A and B are shown apart, each in its own frame.
Chain A
Amino acid sequence: MTPLVQIRETIANAGLQQAIYASTGRLMDKRRHAVAPEVFPDYQELRSQANLLKRHTLEHLDFYLEQFENNVAARGGKVIWCRTPGEVADFILGLAREREARLVVKSKSMTTEELHLNERLEQHGLEAVETDLGEYIIQLAGQRPYHIVAPALHMTRYDVADLFTGKLRIEKETAPEKQTLIARGVLRQKFLSADIGISGANFLVADSGAVVLVENEGNARLTTSAPPIHIAVAGIEKMIPRAQDLAVFLRLLGSSATGQALTVYTSFLAGPRRPLELDGPDEFYVVLLDGGRTRLLADAERRQSLFCIRCGACLNHCPVYRKIGGHNYPWVYSGPIGAIITPQFHGIDRDPWLPYASSLCGACAEVCPVKIDIPKLLLDLRADVTTRTRRGLAERFAFRMYAWLATSPALFGFAGRVAALLAPSNTWIKRLPWFLNVGPVAKWISQRDLPPPPAKSFRRLWKERKRHAA
């Protein structure tokens, strides 16, 4: 079901609207400066390279996945293959049971959101703590991430102050720097006593068996090195062939996501701690999730949905996301990228409204660092919806009528005259009589005025003009 009521509530909430619009606007500004030609002269060139690299990798994904597995094993780590999100959770729970783990620290990971990992861990008596500041905030608030990169994007520092006061039983603190220190105080203890650290992966590097993580807070570094066990959970599409390809991707990711040439920390993690190394876990696992991804591999066009490096730029630039926010999207991934991958991972019939929640403005494709043609995929998915799901009879009939009228010029010219007869007006129409205030027209007039139907269509005026000239 389309969450039209919830969407209306989000739009009616002025404070929330302001928070979303301002936060996404700041991220837009930062990106704009970071990709400006004088700062990043080869930006467009790198976008094309990134697109080709991803295309190549996914065309040979079987090869790179195996290469990755072998290289992880050579460094003493282990790759776990999972078909479904449930299998990932089962693996983690099984390992936690074997190692008698009690406390799990997590660094930011969208993939683990696909398995509702925190809930699963808590159901089995484990404590799971998010250590990214934004993730920590929304975990305390009992919410899911609002945005791929900025999970608490919708919350102001005053919201955070109230949340901390309520949940941590501390005095109200509205300064973001002080709030950060409060979270840090709580989290340091968790890092030191955690049994397992779980991270995601920004990239999986096939030729070196490495997991690459980017972050700005240092929490991912602690998560992956302080506890005795590190588990990285990643979708199979995170693969890139060579370490040198990171030169392309890291630059694009930082610039597109947060306007940074590089994020503050970039970690290359390959295998457990080796002899003579000071830091690092005793055990190192990479859990690779399919979770619907291989469904997309078969189709050369749709495969590009898997190019995504989760920078969030399409969300920030999407005028629809900027109005409806992240929580009205039905699944983990919101915004334009969520609108294309959700129906493809799950099948088109679960949320058939999603590809329609776009004005097709194309801002997403313009800023996508790996050049995913999101509007085209939205259009293709809409075609899937009309052919593979049961659509309303009224809509089907309307488009049949449209095609009939638009191929019958005489009738087509007549349609406008009917409108002029029914609702004659010289000014923009604010309300309609009840018998006309139905269907799409009612929806239109609920938001804005309707143009007055002209007395004569262009084709009639043109005829008169020609007659007059002759």
Chain B
Amino acid sequence: MPKRASLFVTCVVDQVFPSVGLAMAEVLERLGWQLDFPEAQTCCGQPAFNSGYRAQARKVALHFLDVFRDAEYIVVPSGSCTSMISHHFEELFAGDSARLAETHALAPRVYEFSRFLTEVAGAEDVGARMDAVATYHDSCHALRELHIKDAPRRLLRKVRGLELREMDIADECCGFGGTFSVKFADVSGAMARTKIDSIARTGAGLVVSIDSSCLMQIQGALSRAGLPIRTLHLAEVLASR
């Protein structure tokens, strides 16, 4: 039986960080998974949901359900988008029993990438190599809504040549928060600067996370501060050899 999974790459990866999607595909194929990319996919609806626009979020969520209804597994390179689908879709469809049933049938098949690797694919060592000192940023929704804390770290520890150094505030928000980053730009920027100070204190040259939007915030702040530290999505680290 071939192992099949569908990719939901998220709007941010599709439009801004396509290399993350390719890296994720490469790692999964290396482990023998046959991948499918439903081309009608767009977004999970979170931008509208988090801004209070429920009707618009519902439309986008319905589109997601339509696109992924028959998928066996859905792998997502983001804790935040995964949580939107597996936790918040049911709030969107609270009054609609048919959609609610679909959501409940779909939710257990949606996996954040690192959780999929460790829990479904049963892999920790994916044969990656990268010579770097890295620190891992816990993205908030992965950590607090999906309780993903160890899986990415276990995967990183198996990367040859990579040293993992914890920062003192790994679990503190980077300040992105979707539209919060522009509605309260000063606060968001200040939060990012606190985060990159902690990153710099580790002496690491690389920040790894499982959410590209956090990395967009962190890399944006690092680049603005002129710090020679780069950011990579976990998938990009694991794809490297």
Contacts and interface: CB of A to CB of B under 8 A. Distances in A.
Nearest to A324: B187
Contacts of B91: 376, 379
Contacts of B13: 458
Main secondary structure, interface of A, reads helix
B177 A4 contact: no
Contacts of A319: 172-173, 175, 191, 194
Interface string B120-135: 0000000000000000
A324 B187 CA distance: 7
Interface string A365-393: 11000000000100101111111000000
A356 B180 contact: yes
Interface string A419-431: 1000000001010
Interface in B9-39: 9, 11, 13-19, 21-22, 25, 37, 39
Nearest to B47: A402
B219 interface: yes
Interface residues of B, number: 68
A227 B200 CA distance: 56
A405 B181 CA distance: 22
B190 interface: yes
B217 A448 contact: yes
B42 A323 contact: no
A459 interface: yes
Contacts of A357: 180, 184, 187
6 contacts: A7-B184, A360-B50, A360-B180, A363-B171, A379-B50, A408-B42
A396 to B, nearest CB: 8
B186 A11 contact: yes
B2 interface: no
A169 to B, nearest CB: 38
Contact of B189 (A412, A448, A450, A457): A448
Given A359-B175, A447-B221, A461-B18, A384 B180 contact: no
Nearest to B10: A458
A447 to B, nearest CB: 3
Contacts of A413: 14
A358 B55 CA distance: 21
Interface string B44-64: 010111111111110110110
Most buried by A among B91, B141, B177: B177
A399 interface: yes
Contacts of A386: 51-54
Contact of B140 (A359, A406, A407): A359
Contacts of B100: none
Given A444-B220, A447-B224, 17 more contacts: A319-B172, A359-B181, A359-B191, A381-B52, A382-B52, A385-B52, A386-B54, A402-B56, A403-B60, A406-B42, A409-B39, A409-B42, A443-B185, A447-B221, A449-B223, A451-B17, A458-B21
A428 B224 CA distance: 9
B199 to A, nearest CB: 14
Nearest to A4: B186
